[in-house]
Amino acid sequence: MTSDSALLALQRATHATLQVLAAELADLALTASEINVLAILADGPGLTVSEICDAAGSRPSTITSVLDRLERRGHISRGVRPADRRVVVIELTSSGRQAADTIRRTLASVEARALDGLPPEAIAGFRTVLRALAEVSP
């Protein structure tokens, strides 16, 4: 029965969450994919395109077009690793870091509001289910 489907519930929750994030981050004028990539890059040092693809769960062609748009807007730069100049590394610029910080604060706020009052074991179970769904093979 589809009304009990965890995947359908996840899809609905994702859609609702993306609408909230779009409204709260409207001043940044970024797409959901751009927001996702900036949030991934906010975790630390530069990442390769493959690492970003893995974290985003997207194809390289999709991520490359997102990176192109972010680079045109001055949010990222492409460089190389000194130890291996064949490896392209994507890093946040100053404006990209500012946008990523805003995104991270907004994500934390939305998550806190959504999960407020839920017992820790329910949140832990939810994260377990999300990890299992993320591991499903095509």
Domain ranges of the chain: 2-113
In Å, what is the CA distance from 98 to each residue of 27, 30, 39, 55? Answer: 13, 13, 11, 21
Q: How confident is the model at residue 104 (pLDDT cuts 50, 70, 90)?
A: very high
* Three-state DSSP class for residue 138: coil
| 82-91 pLDDT tens trace | 777 888 899 9
Residue 87: the pLDDT is 85
Multiple choice CATH, 2-113, 3.20.20.70, 1.10.10.10, 3.30.1360.120, 3.30.420.310: 1.10.10.10
Are the CB atoms for 32 and 42 separated by under 8 Å? no
| pLDDT of 18 strictly over 60 | yes
Q: What is the mean pLDDT of residues 45-62?
A: 91
Are the CB atoms for 53 and 60 separated by under 8 Å? yes
Q: Which of 53, 45, 55, 38 is nearest to 102 (CA)?
A: 38
Q: What is the mean pLDDT of residues 100-124?
A: 96
Are the CB atoms for 127 and 107 separated by under 8 Å? no
Least confident of 33-42, 49-58, 91-100, 103-112: 49-58
Residue 4: the pLDDT is 81
| pLDDT of 1 strictly over 70 | no
In Å, what is the CA distance from 87 to each residue of 46, 47, 63, 79, 127? Answer: 11, 10, 16, 8, 33
